[in-house]
């Protein structure tokens, strides 16, 4: 084996082979300039060495630890004369960002003109995003079942602005991104009393879901359904209690919550205008304001 290794080392480095070496376990089947085939040990059939353009001697083994100008790059056509420009392939990080992976694949991109007054795209980066519902759906057709992914996302800044969006796609990641973009386009401004709770108790019914919302004093916290808890966190409601009766379908609960907060709340200005009183009197009577 020692003599065989010495002979192979001389062959790889193009050094002259001593005549005293005994080559018992090596067989040269063809000329080395065309295709070199070396079988060591059990006389196995060797695979031909492919020619690489640009190498002076195709028989010289290339060191894989070194960077070769042709083997380690992707040649692409450059100028009109036919010269090759060696362009190194782009190296992605171990975890590529989701925005780059799904770039140009999402629908309903956010436009600043569709946002509430005063908000920009830079403000959207600080928004709280919650994917509350992600499930698999299927559409039954004559060709069979067509599976898709459904996503419902709630987004808000925690200071009175929030919205929800729904989307479907073949991939769950794209469905979540579509739903997030639609939630950003459907942002709504919610009125909060003292920037922490709702103005009054609300009873609301949405299809088969019935929810009772109760305003609570400071420090009470959010004691309610987990879907309502996430929505209140996105809106910025800190003190509230809620009870759900009937259907607890997550989509019905989420839509009922948004509908109740936007349509069922009566502000002090509306009550004062309906009763013919001043806003200060209404705040003193209903909310215990000193002034």
In angstroms, the CA 99 to CA 276 distance is: 54
Pairing verdict, β 74-77 and 84-87: antiparallel
Domains along the sequence of the chain with CATH: 1-63 (no CATH), 126-189 (3.30.160.20), 190-291 (3.30.230.10)
- In this structure, what DSSP letter does residue 114 have? G
For 72-88, letters b (16+ CB in 10 Å) and e give: eeeeeeeeeeeeeeeee
- Tens of pLDDT, residue by residue, the chain (291 residues): 555 555 555 555 555 555 554 444 444 444 444 444 444 444 555 555 555 555 555 555 656 666 666 566 544 555 556 555 555 444 444 444 444 444 444 445 666 666 666 777 788 888 999 999 999 999 998 889 999 999 999 999 999 999 999 999 999 999 999 999 899 888 999 999 989 999 999 999 999 999 999 999 999 999 999 999 999 999 999 999 999 999 999 999 999 999 999 999 988 888 888 888 888 888 878 777 554
Whole-prediction pTM value?
Answer: 0.61
Tell me how far CA of residue 59 lies from CA of 18, 35, 37, 68, 161, in angstroms.
19, 8, 10, 16, 71
Q: What angle do CA 100, 122, 92 make, to 5 degrees?
A: 20
């Amino acid at each position: 084996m020692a003599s065989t290794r010495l002979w192979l080392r001389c062959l790889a480095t193009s050094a002259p082979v001593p005549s005293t070496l005994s080559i018992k376990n090596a067989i040269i089947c063809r000329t080395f300039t065309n295709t070199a085939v070396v079988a060591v040990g059990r006389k196995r059939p060797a695979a031909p060495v492919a020619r690489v353009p640009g190498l002076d001697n195709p028989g010289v083994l290339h060191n894989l630890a070194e960077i070769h100008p042709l083997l380690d790059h992707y040649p692409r056509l450059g100028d009109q004369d036919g010269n090759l420009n060696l362009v190194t392939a782009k190296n992605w990080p171990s975890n590529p960002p989701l925005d780059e992976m799904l770039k140009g694949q999402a629908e309903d991109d956010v436009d600043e003109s569709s946002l509430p007054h005063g908000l920009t795209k830079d403000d959207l980066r600080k928004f709280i995003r919650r994917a509350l519902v992600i499930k698999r759906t299927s559409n039954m057709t004559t060709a069979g079942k067509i599976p898709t992914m459904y996503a419902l996302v709630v987004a808000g800044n925690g200071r009175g602005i929030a919205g929800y969006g729904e989307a479907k796609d073949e991939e769950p990641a794209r469905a979540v991104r579509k739903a997030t973009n639609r939630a950003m386009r459907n942002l709504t401004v919610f009125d909060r009393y003292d920037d922490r709770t709702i103005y009054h108790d609300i009873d609301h019914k949405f299809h088969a879901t019935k929810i009772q919302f109760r305003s609570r004093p400071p420090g009470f916290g959010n004691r309610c359904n987990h879907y309502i808890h996430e929505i209140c966190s996105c809106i910025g409601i800190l003190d509230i209690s809620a009870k759900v009766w009937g259907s607890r379908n997550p989509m019905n609960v989420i839509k009922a919550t948004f509908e109740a907060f936007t349509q069922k709340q009566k502000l002090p200005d509306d009550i004062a205008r309906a009763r013919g009183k001043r806003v200060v009197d209404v705040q003193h009577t209903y909310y215990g304001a000193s002034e």
